[in-house]
Amino acid sequence: MAKIEHWRVYCRISLAVLYGVAGVLHVTIPAPFLKITPVWVPDASHLILITGICEMAGAIGLLIRASRRTAGAALALYAICVFPANIKHAVGDLAGADSTYWQWLYHTIRLPLQPLLVWAALFGGYIVTWPFHRQVPKTEE
């Protein structure tokens, strides 16, 4: 297996686990996600249910050859769309006088990792090859 393919497999499996678990949590335990959803989001409880289903579908889609590109693009777009909730979560946790070292550490690591999640979905979905190759990515064979 070529080095680039090794990293694609690693990204796909890691993201499938991450989004699969997150999706199950969104569907089964929505309360923490409701707490971090911005107030301007309409019908937040239903949207959280839908996002959980989308996360699970994206996770499964990454594991199925025929749907990898679509799932990768959808999960990259999803990571961009939920970033406002991540920011609200960070601001809510860190604005109070009772914020802890662990909250600061979590958000200091978590927020800058969002672009990495976007890239990993695009890379694992055979949409980009950067930084491994500069040419247009080939679809998997």
Is residue 140's pLDDT more than 80?
no
Q: What is the pLDDT of residues 2-23, one digit of tens each?
A: 788 889 999 999 999 999 999 9
Its pTM stands at: 0.84
Output 139 or 83, whichever has higher pLDDT: 83
C-alpha R_g of the chain = 16
DSSP state of 29: -
Map out the domains of the chain as residue ranges.
Answer: 3-80+116-124
Query: What stretches of 64-100 show up as alpha helix (H) in DSSP?
Result: 68-81, 83-95
**Mean pLDDT, rounded, for 55-81:** 96
